[in-house]
Structure 1
Amino acid sequence: MIHTQAVTHTTRAELVRLEADARALRLPVTGSARARPRGFQRSRLRGRGMTFAEVREYQPGDDIRTIDWRVTARRQSPHAKIYEEERERPVLLIADLGDTLFFASTGAYKQVRCAQATALLAWLALGSGDQVGGLVFNNTELETLKPARRKKAVVRLLDALDRLQHQPSAPPVQPVPDARLDRALQEARHAARTGSRVFIVSDFMAITDQTVPLLAGLSRHNSVTALRIQDPLEASLPERGQFSVASPSGPITFDAGNPAFRRAWQEKTGAHELRLEDTFRRAGMPWLTLSTAQPPAEALLGLIGAGGRLL
Structure 2
Amino acid sequence: MATAADRLLRRLEWQVVRRLDGQLQGSYRTLFRGSGIDFADLREYTAEDDVRHIDWNVTARLDEPYVRQYTEDRELTAWLVLDLSASMRFGGEGRGKDSTLTELAVCLARMLTQGGNRVGAVLFDNRHRFVLPPRSGRLHVLRLAHEIDKAAARPSEPGSTDVDGMLRLAAATARRRSLVFVVSDFIGAGGVDWEASLTRLTFRHEVVALRVVDPVELDLPDLGLVVVEDAETGEQVLVDTGDPQFRQRLRAEVDAREAAVDAAMRRAGVAAHLVGTDEDPLQALVAMIQDARRRRRR
Check if 1:223 corresponds to 2:206.
Answer: yes
Check if 1:296 corresponds to 2:281.
Answer: yes
Compute the RMSD of aligned alpha carbons: 3.7
Counterpart residue number, 1:96: 83
Aligned identity (percent) is: 28
- The counterpart of 1:22, out of the listed 16, 20, 24, is 16
Deviations 1:33-58 (A, max 9, x none): xxxxxxxxxxx967967248xxxxx8
How many residues were matched structurally?
A: 262
Counterpart residue number, 1:36: none
- The counterpart of 2:187, out of the listed 174, 191, 205, is 205
SS in 1 for 2:207: strand
Counterpart residue number, 1:266: 251
Shift of 1:246: 7.4
Counterpart residue number, 1:6: none
TM-score, normalising length: structure 1? 0.71
What are structure 1's unaligned runs of at least 5 residues?
A: 1-9, 30-43, 53-57, 67-79, 306-310
Letter in 2 for 1:231: D
Distance 1:277 1:114 in 2: 20
Distance 2:35 2:189 in 1: 26
SS in 1 for 2:123: strand
Shift of 1:88: 2.4
Q: Is the 8 A contact 1:241 1:257 kept in 2?
A: yes
TM-score, normalising length: structure 2? 0.74
Letter in 2 for 1:187: L
Shift of 1:91: 0.8
Say if 1:212 and 1:81 are closer, same or farther in 2 by CA, change over 3 A.
closer
Q: Is the 8 A contact 2:211 2:274 kept in 1?
A: yes
Counterpart residue number, 2:145: 158
Distance 1:293 1:279 in 2: 25
Distance 1:49 1:193 in 2: 19
Counterpart residue number, 1:112: 99
**Following superposition of structure 1 onto structure 2, how do residues 1-311 of structure 1 map, counting pairs within 5 Å?**
11-17=4-10, 18-28=12-22, 50-51=37-38, 63-65=52-54, 86-104=73-91, 108-165=95-152, 170=155, 174=158, 176-179=159-162, 181-206=163-188, 208=190, 210-239=193-222, 241=224, 248=231, 249=234, 254-304=239-289
Structure number having the greater helix percentage: 2
Deviations 1:188-237 (A, max 9, x none): 11222443111000011027454111111111111101100111112223
Distance 1:93 1:213 in 2: 19
Letter in 1 for 2:52: D
Q: Is the 8 A contact 2:127 2:157 kept in 1?
A: no
